[in-house]
Amino acid sequence: MSINYSEKIPNNVNLASDRKLQRALEHWQPHFLKWWEDQGPSDFAANDVYLRTAVGVDSQGWASYGHVKMPDYRWGIFLADQIPDRKIGFGDYYGQPVWQQVPGELRSQFRRIIVTQGDTEPASVEQQRLLGLTCPSLYDLRNLFQVNVEEGRHLWAMVYLLHCYFGRDGREEAEELLARHSGDSDNPRILGTFNEPISDWLSFFMFTYFTDRDGKFQLKSLAESGFDPLARTCRFMLTEEAHHMFVGETGIGRVIKRSLEVMKELSTDDPATIRSQGAIDLQTIQRYMNFWFTSSLDLFGSEVSSNAASSFATGIKGRPDEEKYDDHICSDATFEIETPDGTENVGMRNAMNEVMRDSYIQDCGIGLKRWNMLIKRAGFDIELYLPSSKFRRSIGSWVGLPVDPHGNLIDQATYDKKLSDWIPTESDRVFVTSLMQKVTAPGKMAGWIAPPDRGINNNAVDYEYVRLN
């Protein structure tokens, strides 16, 4: 079904046919807009921003572009098309028809998973609220706002499911999604990473590379769900999500490119010299990477988890790209997990978090390869790396242990002393923050970042992506 933009809430779910649901969502809509005004991007509400809006749900030509003021963005409910005769692809119900309603006995598990996913969407908008004030270019400012409005739409996606399939408690949860706030000491967001402030653009690029990619893997596993409306919702969200990771990958790449320009010009890899030229040294970039990568790893949960086993068994959540595996039942298979006491063989279903984390880590490696190629081509003998998944963990069997970024268990004193080499120090943050000066002349870039290779939607890099007057 095509998207209907003539209604108050654009949708492709024939919302008008269910008056009660339509009224409930129209009641939530002003609360969302109020939240956007209070907690969304500061200062730019009156400016025209070159944004894409969904006009369809197939992966080809699904979006249209145009200047729009953010508060006028048409947030709506868009589900990917239904796949006829779709069957559950994993777990105990393998091969059975997918569900169009939530099975009663799985109701609270589904609700928790949808609320947790939904909570991350507005959280990231809140985390990024002030970034526009220090944008390195109009191009980047536009990308930030594109990510923000789409995270807002992802909130709509989850709120639709809550309202449509979970009755009164769903409606209450939808209100709560607007009541919790990132970093709020009384009522914080559910997951740790989403309470970390993102106050500089290097962190923003790290977040969109590492943390949005966690989102990609969560959405991929929910796109496999036996609850078909959830699967369809997540499939369309993935289409939007790709741009967020593009922003992260190209953003980090451009910061590296700029550093390499300075390094080549002065034939040095000395961090202090590079910093004195207003660029960010690769060592600092590595420390930011270590921070956001490890923090994002925790989002997958403990290595061994009965929750994960139950979500797989009951058809709630599959593995990303479930079809690439041979065994979709996994009742006898085992998985080898490294613990501080040695290797352990655990049931595959219990290890699903780890399986997912492994494929996430592989996916993270793709950008690293490209960046290292840039460094190598520039003639420098430095290699960026992903730290070990045992380093700096806040959950699971490695929690709190003094493990170095290469995965070696070391003594606590050495760890404490060396930690400042591995994650950003206060002075790193002060330095990076000092570079964050707003640049808004079309086509101009801040000195710490190279221009992008091309603009958005075939426009030039110096296109007026945000009209400031």
Site of interaction with Fe ion (CB under 5 A): 121, 151, 154, 212, 241, 244
How deeply is 366 buried, as exposed, middle or buried, from its count of CB atoms within 10 A (0-12, 13-18, 19+)? Answer: exposed
Shortest spacing between CB 237 and Fe ion, in angstroms:
6
Least separation, in Å, of the C-beta of 366 and Fe ion?
17
Q: Give whichever of 143 and 284 is closer to Fe ion, judged by the CB atom.
A: 143
Quick one: which of 276, 262, 259, 278 has its CA closest to 384?
259
Q: How far is the CB of 243 from Fe ion (least distance, A)?
A: 8
CB of 292 to Fe ion, least distance (A): 14
Q: Look at residues 84, 80, 49, 82 and name the one whose alpha carbon lies nearest to residue 62.
A: 80
Q: How many helices (H) and strands (E) does the chain have?
A: 13, 5
Q: Could you tell me what percentage of the chain is helix, strand and coil, using 3-state DSSP and rounding each to the nearest 5?
A: 55, 10, 40
Q: How far apart are CA 397 and CA 441, in angstroms?
A: 50
- Indicate the residue among 242 and 399 with the shorter CB distance to Fe ion: 242
Q: Which is nearer to Fe ion, 208 or 284 (CB)?
A: 208
C-beta of residue 148 within 8 angstroms of C-beta of residue 51: no
CB of 436 to Fe ion, least distance (A): 22
Shortest CB 147 distance to Fe ion, Å: 6
- CA distances to 206, 335, 368 from 363, rounded to whole Å, are 14, 20, 10
Residues 154, 159, 163: CA angle, nearest 5 degrees? 155
How would you write 374-396 as a 3-class SS string?
Answer: HHHHCCCCCCCCCCCCCCCCCCC
Structure-block tokens of residue 90: 């994993």
Instruction: State the minimum distance, in angstroms, from the CB of residue 241 to Fe ion.
Output: 5
Cβ nearer to Fe ion, comparing 178 with 280: 178
